[in-house]
A and B are shown apart, each in its own frame.
Chain A
Amino acid sequence: MPIDAAFVAAKIGFVFFVVLNLAGLLGWVERKQSALMQDRIGANRAPIFGITLIGLFHPLADAIKAFTKEDFIPARANKVMHTLAPILAVAPAFTAFAVIPFGDTVTLAGKTVPLVIADLDVGVLFVFAIMSLAAYGVVLAGWSSWNNFSLLGGLRASAQMLSYEIVMGLTLVGIFMTYGSLQLTEIARAQGQFFTFGGLNTWIPKWGILTQPLAFFLFMAAAIAESKRAPFDVAEAESELVAGYFTEYSGMKFLMFWMGEFVEIVVISGLVATLFFGGWQIPWLARDGFHVPFTSIVIALPAMLITLAGVAAFWTKVLVLIWLQMTVRWTLPRFRYDQIMRMGWKMLLPLSLANIFVTGLVILLMKG
Chain B
Amino acid sequence: MEQTVFYVFAAIALGSSLAMVLQRNPVAAAMNLVLTMFSLAALFVLLHAHFLAVIQLLVYAGAVMVLFLFVIMFLNLTEEQLLPGRKSILHGAGIALAVYALLQIRELVHRMPAARPRALATDFGTTKAIGKLLFSDYLLPFELTSVLILAAIVGAVVLAKRRLD
Contact = CB atoms under 8 A, between A and B. Distances in A.
A261 B138 CA distance: 41
Interface residues on B, range: 20 to 34
Query: Most chain-B Cβ atoms within 10 A of its Cβ — which of A78, A84, A125, A154?
Result: A125
B54 A126 contact: yes
Interface in B56-110: 57-58, 61-63, 66-67, 69-70, 72-74, 76
A132 B63 contact: yes
Contacts, number: 80
Query: Most chain-B Cβ atoms within 10 A of its Cβ — which of A84, A133, A165?
Result: A133
A135 B66 contact: yes
A33 interface: no
A159 B76 CA distance: 16
Contacts of B72: 143
Given A139-B73, A155-B74, A161 B27 contact: no
Contacts of A142: 73
Nearest to A138: B66
A165 B34 CA distance: 18
Interface residues of A, number: 30
Given A78-B27, A143-B27, A155 B70 contact: yes
B58 A132 contact: yes
B127 A121 contact: yes
B66 A125 contact: no
Given A125-B55, A129-B57, A136 B27 contact: no
Given A121-B50, A136-B31, A155-B73, A128 B66 contact: no
A130 to B, nearest CB: 7
A122 interface: yes
A162 interface: yes
Given A139-B66, A142-B73, A162-B67, A129 B27 contact: no
Interface of A: 78, 80-81, 84, 120-122, 125-126, 128-130, 132-133, 135-136, 139-140, 142-144, 151, 154-155, 158-159, 161-162, 165, 182
Interface of B: 25, 27-28, 31, 34, 38, 50-51, 54-55, 57-58, 61-63, 66-67, 69-70, 72-74, 76, 126-127
